[in-house]
Structure 1
């Protein structure tokens, strides 16, 4: 029985590969942009279009022969596998609080993104982590491509930037197009497009890998510590991390998701220093980007170091408290926790 299964497995795999190769992705020819370059790459990460070939044309008869078409054709219809965004009346957005009009990249990601995330992370598509990463990648990676391609200003138009930044992904894809006075043919432009598609894909997968393997585990650590904070102090105002992890973004998002009232939100975070083996106490800011804290460390401790700090606080092992009171250090976990508990009462 087992030898029979083994002998048929290669034939089955070969048939699947042939089916994939027979699929054709269509997009427009000529100058290419970041959105369709990424859209094509993303489609090739799916079970349906893995290994698919590509046709670049604006000829409707050519596009009709394609299994899926992106960024051309004037049709958005998931059932027909047509994903254009240029037609009059198109106002599709990602949803989930996002309001940026979608480009072909956003359209493909909206419909196929969960599958792509699950496949890359090797987890079931129904896993809650897939949805978390799907939304995170849209916010941090795909939405900007949608906005740029649709000509949506990132800032109010009356604000003049102090410098230009043309190093974003959309700009780098644009630079891969031939110069206006450079002799080219359609075949060479198609080669350049494949290079652009791979560029967008490498960056997308790199970002997904980071969020899946580093950002998401940090979120789990923060969620666990947030749920156990009452065990650290009955007030629930102190969070203890037994290992360092980036925590600010996750804390604010989890507070919002759990609808934690203002009076119950944590004030201080205690965690081990990444390199020294000492411990830190940090005041939670009022927002992720703010320098203002919910409750800064006491004024009488600020700017003090070592023995002077230990005497002022009455807690041994003092290392420092920043002059602004947003962070401090102690030689031990117990010392840092004692600082946090005492600061709550001051």
Structure 2
């Protein structure tokens, strides 16, 4: 008799939770929403049901992208006419099911994946939370809600088609073909493939931001602080290892009221050579603040060494934004000559 309550408690604690989304054709937003939910411990072994039946919604523990309801607890749909929710006041893009799940569970997901603590890593969590939404999830929200990237879409003439190059396009193409007379089981099987695809891309970006980009700032900051010992102009920074540096440069310059001053970044590359790279005008720009000299561009090896007077040169890109040389000293000489 005394064992029965304990048995009942154990059975309740091992209950398999259920995630529900809609059946039929699937899209990028709900495939990612389901994947993100399964990153949470309580949903890691959850059963995924795809249904448009209210009875299945009620029987589930969480419902995404279907039901016409949003309460931030169980129901996470965005299709109802009155829904206009965004990630926060800084964003104007209407949320899809992916954005809704990330808005409510994103910080918990970040802590789970990256091992962050809300007590020790509060600022880092906030940074990653906003950055992952801005640079990954928001595009999925916009795509699902039919929001154009450009305000004057009709005035733009694309030079090529990229729909099938995008994650959303790839997911759409994973739906079973109409001419195969697909069953619900066929759609469900392909949904799992699409969810894993979206999830892998999400995890790669989340890990990059949390484990690569964020820790890199300390190295860029150190190089910035030591720039005058590299060259008296303060326009060259030198790092003894490669780290993602571009966005950190802009942020560090801004916080020190010296925006636009760093022109060249030097670092070792993967071939044991040294790289000189001109700082772009912006993180997404192909133009540089100050390109490497025009007379060097496109030259390689001995021809480049003869032109610059610096031994063991490797190349200068034809566009003038980067080049290589075998030694740190050579890279620094290239940078100083380029000034």
RMSD: 3.3
Distance 1:307 1:193, change over 3 A: closer
Do structure 1's residue 285 and structure 2's residue 280 form an aligned pair? yes
Distance 1:194 1:298, change over 3 A: closer
Distance 1:39 1:299, change over 3 A: closer
User: What is residue 45 of structure 2 aligned with on the other side?
Assistant: 51
Question: What are the within-5 Å matches in structure 2 for residues 152-167 of structure 1?
Answer: 152-155=147-150, 156-161=153-158, 162-167=160-165
Question: What are the within-5 Å matches in structure 2 for residues 118-157 of structure 1?
Answer: 118-125=111-118, 127=121, 128-155=123-150, 156-157=153-154
What per-residue deviation string (whole Å, max 9, x for no partner) do you get for residues 287-329 of structure 1? 234444323445677767214422xxxx676666667654455
TM-superposed deviation, 1:268? 1.9
TM-score, normalised via structure 2 length: 0.79
What per-residue deviation string (whole Å, max 9, x for no partner) do you get for residues 183-237 of structure 1? 3443443333333323322332233334444444444432332343344345432
TM-superposed deviation, 1:34? 1.8
Measure, in 1, the Cα distance between the counterparts of 2:294 and 2:95. Answer: 49
SS in 2 for 1:101: coil
SS in 2 for 1:270: strand
Measure, in 2, the Cα distance between the counterparts of 1:107 and 1:234. Answer: 50
User: What is residue 91 of structure 1 aligned with on the other side?
Assistant: 84
Distance 1:244 1:21, change over 3 A: same
User: What is residue 306 of structure 1 aligned with on the other side?
Assistant: 305
Distance 1:203 1:342, change over 3 A: closer
Question: What are the within-5 Å matches in structure 2 for residues 291-330 of structure 1?
Answer: 291-297=286-292, 305-310=304-309, 326-330=321-325
Question: What are the within-5 Å matches in structure 2 for residues 251-270 of structure 1?
Answer: 251-256=249-254, 258=255, 260-262=257-259, 265-270=261-266
TM-superposed deviation, 1:124? 1.9
TM-superposed deviation, 1:271? 1.8
Is the Cα contact below 8 Å between 2:19 and 2:60 reproduced in 1? yes
TM-superposed deviation, 1:87? 1.2
SS in 2 for 1:190: helix
User: What is residue 235 of structure 2 aligned with on the other side?
Assistant: 237
Is the Cα contact below 8 Å between 1:305 and 1:319 reproduced in 2? yes
Is the Cα contact below 8 Å between 2:239 and 2:267 reproduced in 1? yes
Gaps of 5+ in 2: 1-5
Distance 1:231 1:81, change over 3 A: farther
For these two proteins, the number of residue pairs brought into alignment is: 324
User: What is residue 75 of structure 2 aligned with on the other side?
Assistant: 82
Gaps of 5+ in 1: 1-10
SS in 1 for 2:110: helix
User: What is residue 102 of structure 1 aligned with on the other side?
Assistant: 95
